[in-house]
Amino acid sequence: MATVGFVGLGDMGSRMVPHLLRAGHTVRVCDLLPERTAGAVAQGAIESADPADAARGADLVISAVMSADIPAAHLGPAGILSGLRPGVVLAMLSTTTPAVLQLISAAMPEGTRLLDATLVGGVRYAAEAGLTVLLGGGDDAVAAAEPILAEFGEVVRVGPLGSGVAYKLITNVVVMAAEAGLRGAAAHLRSRAQPPVGRRRG
C-alpha cells in the first residue's frame, strides 16, 4: 500500500478519498476549508497543515484544487512542490490550461515527475468510482501512478504530458456542442407543439 497526499476536498475530491482509504492506502489530506478536512479525517485520513505537509513522505501526490487555486496550492513555501521528495509523482486532476500545466512543470523539483490526470465524469461518478482518468505523462510516472488512480475508475493513457488537458478540452467542446444541439431541438419541438396565435382549439 502507498502513502498518498491529497490536496483539494471539494465536490470531487471529498468523494474520491474514501476509495483510497478502502483500498488500504494511507491518505494525507489538505483543504482550505477545515470542515472538509475534518470530514476526510473522520473517515480515516490524516490531516495536513498545508499542501507541502500533505506532500511530505507521500509516494504519490494528487491535486484536485479549483483551477484558480492551482498556483497558490502548488507554488511557494507552503505549496505542494516544496514538500515533494525525489522520485515522487504529482498527478494534477484539475481541468486547467496547457500554460498553467507548463508553469507547474517548470517549477517541479529535480527528480520529481508530473502527470496531468484530468477527469471525465461528475460527482456521482466520483462517488461510484466510475470516473475516466485521462492520463498524460512519461511512461515511468504513468506506471507508478496508474494502479492508485485506477481506484477512481478507468485510467486511459492518452500520451505525453499535456495530452490529458488537451483531450479534456476537446471533450468539453463536444459536450457543449451536443447540449446546444439538444436545446435547439427541444425549442423547435416546443414551438411546433404550440397552436398558432389566434387559432382556437376545438
Q: Which residues are catalytic?
A: 168
8 with 126: CB under 8 angstroms? no
For every residue of the chain, DSSP letters joined together read --EEEEE--STTHHHHHHHHHHTT-EEEEE-SSHHHHHHHHHTT-EE-SSHHHHHTT-SEEEE---GGGHHHHHSSTTSHHHH--TT-EEEE-S---HHHHHHHHHHPPTT-EEEEEEEES-HHHHHTT-EEEEEES-HHHHHHHHHHHGGGEEEEEEESTTHHHHHHHHHHHHHHHHHHHHHHHHHHHHHHHSPPTTPPP-
Q: How far apart are CA 30 and CA 76, in angstroms?
A: 16
By CB atoms closer than 10 A (0-12, 13-18, 19+), residue 196 is: exposed
